[in-house]
Amino acid sequence: MAEVFRFSKKGDQGETSLLTGQRVSKGSLRPETYGTLDEASSALGLAKAFCPDEKVREMIRTIQEDLVTVGAELACEAPQRSRWRVETAQIERLERWIEELQEEVAVPRHFILPGANPVSASLDLARTIVRRAERWAARAREAGLEVRAEVQAYLNRLADFLFTLARFTEKDR
């Protein structure tokens, strides 16, 4: 028999727990930032569900896994971050993927109107959500919370990657 989900009701008063157990307002900077990353992952899931290209689906899955790490890093204090850290290698992977995709498709240098197909539209939605998370992370850093430079760089590069990937999925369609 499947385990039954039991709701805790702990969030009914507008608070949530960080990974450390510390209670904070759901509207505070950390939950806003990692909650926005959860939204981005859901938009990526939509793109993945629509996408017929196995290579692109695998890239999206990898990004979704990365977003779990980014969110977890933001949801804990420095001493607990040994398990949850954005690494330079993840940023470099995004840069490599961008370069590989740009060999196959020219990236426009003008504003685009999203919606050429369901995959690219979902990727553009994810991109704009990542940009919002990037702004929340910047606010958190400005407010004195520790947001490592690698997190900011990863989010910035991820938005660039998603823009490029969206254009790639419009190719030949």
Q: Is residue 136 part of a domain?
A: yes
| pTM listed for this prediction | 0.91
Compute the chain's Rg from CA coordinates: 17
Q: How many domains does the chain have?
A: 1
What pLDDT, on the 0 to 100 scale, is given for residue 81? 66
Cα 67 to Cα 6: distance, rounded to the nearest angstrom = 26
| Torsion sign, CA atoms 147, 129, 35, 95 | negative
For 148, residues 6+ apart whose C-beta sits below 8 A from its C-beta are 73, 85, 86
**Does residue 52 form part of some domain?**
yes
Do the beta carbons of residue 14 and residue 27 sit within 8 Å? yes
Q: Report yes or no on 20 lying in a domain.
A: no
Whole-number pLDDT of residue 8? 75
Model confidence over 145-156: pLDDT tens digits?
999 999 999 999
Cβ(33)–Cβ(86) below 8 Å: no
Tens digits of residue pLDDT in 32-90? 999 999 999 999 999 999 999 999 999 999 999 999 999 999 988 776 666 788 999 99
In a domain, 43, yes or no: yes
Q: What is the pLDDT of residue 171?
A: 85
In terms of residue numbers, what domain contains 136? 26-170
51 is a domain residue: yes
CATH number at residue 42: 1.20.1200.10
- Per-residue pLDDT at 92 exceeds 60: yes
**C-beta of residue 140 within 8 angstroms of C-beta of residue 35:** no
Q: Would you state the torsion angle of the CA atoms of residues 143, 87, 124, 72, taken in this order, to the nearest 10 degrees? A: -60
Phi, psi of 24, rounded to the nearest 5 degrees: -140, 160
